[in-house]
Amino acid sequence: MIEENAEQRSDEPGVEAGEQDITTESDSSETPPDDAITWRAFLETTPPGVTLAIREIRVQQPGRFRSWKVYAPDSIFLYCGSDHCTGMRFFTRSSYRPPPELENDPVDFLLTYKCRNCEITEKRFAVHAWTEELYWGRAVKIGEYPPFGPQIPARLQRLVQQDRDLLMKGRRAESQGLGVGAFAYYRRIVEDNKDRVIDEIRRVAEKSKAPPELLQRLERARNMVQFSAAVEEIKDGVPEALLIEGHNPLTILHQALSQELHAGTDQECLELATSIRVVLTALADRTSRILKDEAELNQALKRILHRDK
Ligand SMILES: [Zn+2]
């Protein structure tokens, strides 16, 4: 369920069946620089503000005017954070905004892609591009939305609602190897969201008909100010369905947070930060799945019982 490996993909151009033919007249003086990449690799892996050489930057249109157009790929491979996907998926270019002409002058343009699987998530790129030779040129992203960088599952964003911005910053710091920073952001998120997380655990406990004693402990923990005291109160009080490899997720989070930050190297902090995010994601996955299953079951029961009347 955890998203990874966004960058470990091949650099192949996004040429697929049905994509337009590239004009094949070749000219050896037009060889792009060695570090030139494809449009597809550029869109998928390059952050805004970085100018790169693009191979096959444009394609000549058939027909009378033989105009040149930006050779934007029909599909690219990106992370989709919707509840249906939560992983790497193909995104298809929206046809209502075709790539613009690219002749001698630089152009600014937008490209929009939509997840082919859920057809919900959209990705928009604003790009500035120009030609250097007949077939290759350079491009820089002016921006993209959702922002460049590792994306975060919708379920986790919902779990930490008011701290979504901190979560984004933490994830960005983590992806850039800024361990101390990522750890500090995640610590804030866990401590700020203690009440919300315990509320979600209590909802799961209620749905799974947990004994009243356990519900009372969750209630007490909810009202405790100190995170460590709350974790101690419910160290044996989490429904079995939420345990991660047999461990209480709150206890694991607390252990990760109690490590002495000042003593740790950036690398140690980074590893702890990643662990915190993975555990939080697993917890968000489990609570939302159990609560959703329960809601669906209730719906199904309602439909059957109504029919019997
Ligand atoms: Zn999707």
Give domain limits for the chain: 28-145, 154-300
Contacts of 203 (CB under 8 A, 6+ apart): 287, 291
The parts of the chain modelled with pLDDT lower than 70 are 1-29, 260-263, 308-309
Ligand 1 centroid – CA 288 distance (Å): 18
Radius of gyration of the chain (CA): 25
Helix, strand, coil: what percent of the chain each, to 5? 45, 15, 40
pLDDT at 308: 57
Instruction: Tell me which residues have their CB within 5 A of the ion that is ligand 1.
Output: 80, 82, 85, 89, 115, 117-118, 121
What's the pLDDT at 9?
A: 43
Q: Return d(Cα 210, Cα 224) in angstroms, integer.
A: 21
Dmax (CA) of the chain: 81
Distance 3 CA to ligand 1 centre (A): 13
Distance 168 CA to ligand 1 centre (A): 19
Question: 258 C-alpha to center of ligand 1: Å?
Answer: 36
3-state secondary structure of 83: coil
Q: Please give the torsion angle defined by the CA atoms of residues 205, 209, 212 and 217, in that order, rounded to the nearest 10 degrees.
A: -10
Residue 239 and residue 218: Cα distance in Å, rounded? 11
**What is the separation of C-alpha 67 from the centre of its chain, rounded to a whole number of angstroms?**
37
Res 65: pLDDT: 83
- pLDDT given for residue 164 in this prediction: 87
Tell me how far apart the alpha carbons of residues 186 and 166 are, in angstroms, rounded to a whole number.
8
d(CA 256, CA 238) in angstroms, rounded, equals 18
**CA of 172 relative to ligand 1 center, distance in Å:** 21
- Spell 117-139 as b/e; 16+ CB within 10 A means b: eeeebebebebebbbeebbbbbb
> In the prediction, which pLDDT does 44 show?
92
Position 309 scores a pLDDT of 54
CA of 89 to the centre of ligand 1 (A): 6
Pull the structure tokens for residue 188.
């804030």
In 3D space, the residue among 236, 185, 177, 243 whose CA is nearest the CA of residue 211 turns out to be: 236
Please say whether the beta carbons of 50 and 140 come within 8 A: yes
